[in-house]
A and B are shown apart, each in its own frame.
Chain A
Amino acid sequence: MRTGDFKQSYGELVALTDSPPVWLWSAVLLLALILAPFFLNAYALSFLIMILITVVGALGLNILTGYTGLISLGHVGFLVTGAYAYAVAVSKYGLPPIAGFVAAGMVPAIASLVVGAPSLRLKGLYLAITTLAFSFLINTLILEARWLTNGARGISLQRPTLFGISFDSDAAFTYLCLGFALLALLATLNIRRSRVGRALVAIRDNDTAARVMGINLHAYKLLAFVTSAFITGLAGALYGIYLSFVSVEGFPFLLSIEALAILIVGGLGSALGVVLGTIFIVLLPEVARLLFNLFSAQMDAMFTTGAQELKSMLYGLVIILFLRFQPRGLVGAWHDIKRCWVNWPLRY
């Protein structure tokens, strides 16, 4: 009798999942998401769209911070670059939306080479500070380059029409976001189980050892930057389309913090964690509002006047509490629950 979960070939070890129920439940979830726009009202649908867009962006950051262990405080810089690349290509030069999305990926990827270059020499804190500086430089650059970006006036955007399908309505736009989220998720999962992903994780865990094993640190760090910026840029384009207006103010520094909060809450370096973390963080302000609502109407007034402040305060609290009490994030909690379920009444 099999007494444990043994992998007997290399293929089994790197398979996406070895469990049929996981495939089944993933299919059920996908079906539910496809059917969701028919049943959800506009308000709930806006949250679904936000979650799907945020998942793409957070998955992008996850490749850099979660897998490779390079802290980026300036990821909003890639987000805004992606949004502007799309807006300039489509609204200003009238290119087809497909070309816009390609630009939204490629321009941040090229920008990331500039930011990534110092990262070859810098580690930890210093890299965090460099990326922070980068995100401020990008904002100034966009405001100064008026001939291209309209400066502070921003660029307005239409919902795109791809392959003859119009994504004008919210329901249709949900499918577009769902498609991008699925692609991003599959891409990260497959990167993680490939040679590249293993190299990135090796760099995170011990870069000296990784180098000794023949991993080219410079190439792989830059690769992590480029991939991460590409995916984040796509999220930026989606977000810009959703807002139907791209400006520097639409992408505040808080988004960088939000992305890091998602990674911490979900559990660093796990795609499932990113998804769980995104759902948690996007719904957190709304859930908090409903909870406070139960206590008093006065709190509700506070939420409408200081919504942005309360949101950032919640993010701060969540970051601190998770790091203090559940450093492995929601994924860690999920694994603990699963183990308890399987092994009960034994401890392990």
Chain B
Amino acid sequence: MQYLIQLLISGLAVGAIYGLIAMAFAVIYKSTGLVNFAQGEMTMIVAYVAWTISTTISGNVFVVAFGAIVAAVLLGLVIERVVMRPMLGEPVFSTVMVTIGLAVILRSSINFIWDAYPHALDLGVGRHVVRIGSIGVRTGQIAVITTLLLLIAGIWAFFRYSKFGIAMRAVAADDRTALLMGISAPRVHGFAWAASSAIAGIAGVFFAMSYDLSPAMFQLGLKAFPATILGGLDAVLGSGLGGLLIGVTENLAGGYVSSGMKEVAGFLMIIIVLMIRPFGIFGERDIERV
């Protein structure tokens, strides 16, 4: 029983990280209609920037968090402006391939800017163990789950009540009509990339705090994919919850079946979900013939 609860808790913690990245996928998909295959790589870059800040400027948690978010927003804006905006209006195949090209470039840039060795991002917090009865939970795990829940609530409120959030939903629903209503689609796209990059960056920093930094971190993006599909590509909140579900499933598969199963549990779920409900649990069904 204790083993199961321990698995569930670590599953929820790693699932919260997947959930954050899955939300980042969904934010971009919802406003621009494309899947950003470079999401995992952006997560990794932000985590490396955070590590650089912690070793060169200051190891204070707040300084690192602030620096990482600023870097993430800048990264998102630059990518949108330089790489993605010229591709506006091109077919899906082209834009998706551009994000894949971008992913490959960012992935290999790690080895040139930093190095190929693993590093620990030690901010002096997050590794204490809190005991609840006989079950130990790390503070970092509590923090990441709390962050996910707060962000889910925050994003829900943003899309529901703020003017810009409503504008983003309008662009997602019908960009031409949105343009006629005086909404600037490029600005919405820029904002979406910045926001998605920041959310993914937070996930990256949390991941680096509880595990380690390494050039293989981009695989987080692949791990978070199933979460996005499960929740629905266009459902930001659903993706967050999908992450928790995938994290728990993966950990249970790893704990009870085999470690190889842990690696592919998410992908198996993708295939099953796509066969049964291609638009995800919370996504909107596209009505299409043929």
Contacts and interface: CB of A to CB of B under 8 A. Distances in A.
Q: Chain A interface secondary structure, helix, strand, loop or mixed?
A: helix
Contacts of B260: 140, 143-144
Interface in A300-331: 302, 306, 308-310, 312-313, 315-320, 323-324, 327
A48 B273 CA distance: 43
A310 B87 CA distance: 25
B92 interface: yes
A217 B290 contact: yes
A125 B93 CA distance: 8
B155 interface: no
A125 B283 CA distance: 15
Interface string A165-198: 0000000000000000000000000000000000
A260 interface: yes
Nearest to B267: A133
Interface stretch (A19-27, A89-97, A116-124): A116-124
Nearest to B104: A316
B274 interface: yes
Contacts of B222: 132, 136
A118 B108 contact: no
A309 B108 contact: yes
A254 B100 CA distance: 11
Interface in B216-270: 222, 225-226, 229, 233, 258, 260, 263-264, 267-268, 270
B97 A319 contact: yes
Interface residues of A, number: 45
A145 to B, nearest CB: 10
Contacts of B258: 144
Contact of A319 (B98, B226, B233): B98
Contact of B101 (A69, A118, A130, A320): A320
Contact of B271 (A133, A254, A319): A133
Best-surrounded residue of B101, B268, B270 (most CB of chain A within 10 A): B101
A211 interface: yes
A129 B274 contact: yes
Given A310-B108, A315-B104, A121 B98 contact: no
Nearest to B279: A126
B96 A128 contact: yes
By Cβ-Cβ distance, the 7 closest A-B pairs, closest first, are A319-B101, A309-B108, A316-B104, A316-B105, A133-B267, A316-B101, A320-B101
Given A133-B271, A217-B290, 19 more contacts: A118-B275, A121-B274, A124-B93, A125-B34, A126-B274, A129-B225, A129-B229, A134-B267, A137-B267, A254-B104, A260-B100, A308-B108, A316-B102, A316-B103, A316-B108, A320-B83, A323-B94, A323-B97, A324-B86
Interface of A: 69, 71, 73, 118, 121-122, 124-126, 128-130, 132-134, 136-137, 140, 143-144, 207-208, 211, 217, 254, 257, 260-261, 264, 302, 306, 308-310, 312-313, 315-320, 323-324, 327
